[in-house]
Structure 1
Amino acid sequence: MVLIITLAVFITVALISWALMTYFVGGKTDVQERLDKLSPQAELTIERRGKSSQFHNTLGTLGEKIPLSPKEHSKYARMLVAAGFRKEHVYPFMGSKIILTVLLPLLYPIYLVMTTLHGETFREAFFKSQPLLVTIALAIIGFLLPSYWLYYMKNKRQTQIFHTLPDIHDLLTVCVEAGLSLDAALIRVTETPQFEKDPLAQEIRIATRETRAGKPRMDALKDMAERTMVDDVKSFVIMLAQTEKFGTSLGQSLRVHADSLRTKRRQLAEEAAAKTTIKLVFPLALFIFPALLVVMLGSAFIQVLGIFG
């Protein structure tokens, strides 16, 4: 019986987490959506999309119950865009906070039922585990969990962009020195299979589409830098703007900027390696040194006790 309840709790939480992750992480490109429309199962795809839209509307309706100031709304919108989502997902994101705030405290009664199966009465388990404190703690965790997840996704995407930027610089340099214009070089980067699913290539693809739609190129690139919230991308855009303004060599500027980014990346790796020694002090002092002390002096200490005891 305990195993059945445990499996039921696990399946419930897993399904809820899968639904939320599918909504925020999942998504299809324009080409995939076009192929779905042309496939024989287009009706099933449309039906699934309707269910997803219904789930989106439900989360959005719940999220609108949370009062947000314009500053907070802008903050969450920027973070969602930096994490790779759309700014329209602010209210569905807040709706996921409400759902987890309600669902996590519901696990507590299940825990009480499981304790009764081990011989402890429901009354004893209820008063023994401080129900009000546990319920409030679970509700707070459920409300904060999506925010921590969003911070993790944003930092992960920014790290990918930071590590990919020098390689994209090299490809841009080769394309520009081969005679392509900057716009053609940016389009060539987005079409390279190596960077097909790269976050920075996706942002460049959005910028090139905005440029084709009539937006000034520098404005589109500046918006790209604001979306990524990565300082190196901002410096890259500033370098392009200065190169275009003063008429300097674009290929040479890209090469110098790529070298500076690689130097910065190497310095960060050296800094992380230098911090490793300091981080090892506490595990050594707490776990390894006491064990070595017991091994080396344990037998001698026992013999001394035997002599003087």
Structure 2
Amino acid sequence: MLIDSLSIKVWMLRKAERAGLHIQSMKHFQPVDARRHMSNPLELNYLYPGRELLLDAPMEWGFGLFNLSGHRRFLNDVMQEAFDNPGRERDLLREALRVFYADWQPANAAEFLGVSSGQVGELVDVPPWQACSPWDSHNAVEKSVKRQRTELRENTRILGKRLDINAGWKFCGPVSEDKLEVEVERLARVLESIRRQGICRHDGTDGDIRANVLTHSDGRWRWVVHGGQHRYAVISALGALRATIRVERFIRREDVALWPTVTSGLFSQEAALKIFDNYFAD
């Protein structure tokens, strides 16, 4: 007896449903391509609820690794030189990052975030790598555990040996020599890839720079990198005017009272808004 492919598919779907599983087409998980959308991107949040969005975002409105408000664009000159000199990129990047990590050594998470100890007392007692944003969905403990796992995995993958977060954090110093080499290597590999094949993207999980979009009631918006930090650092330092980003969340300023770490009491509304508004100050 011949069984056609449609019958097999129906049979498999029914078996999955009986097992409590729900199967959807991969197309449902592909980001919505909204790169031609030029007005307030918050509108897209209502047009495509629950979907990730691709935006063509102005680079000057973006913030991420080696390009936060206190040290904007410090890598620009060296990155172009590294791009133009194959074989010398690691030496050039190493020299620049050594200066960065020596100069930027906040004493605690509060200083890293740019808020006073009186505004976020608990963050004075923890290292910078335990800093979190007022709108983070994870609580401080969950964030800490997740960050430690991520750093250990990425360090070990690049270095070939175990290196945990005690060796340093990519966003600020101090860092060990091993951690410095990890960051040099990660930037150099992205640079070499762009030199070889240009800036590429795909619809897979790590196919884009992932970002949260911060929106102001007056229509202004900024974007903060959540994933693809090294990709962002290289592309921005090479002088790109715009970048394709995959938006994970929209953070509205007027919702400050509802932000998770504000409702938990870690941040006051005043401190939370100061952190938010710092992204609009440049």
Q: Report the TM-score when normalising by structure 2.
A: 0.25
Higher RCO (CA 8 Å, separation ≥ 6 residues): 2
Q: Report the TM-score when normalising by structure 1.
A: 0.23
| Higher relative helix content | 1
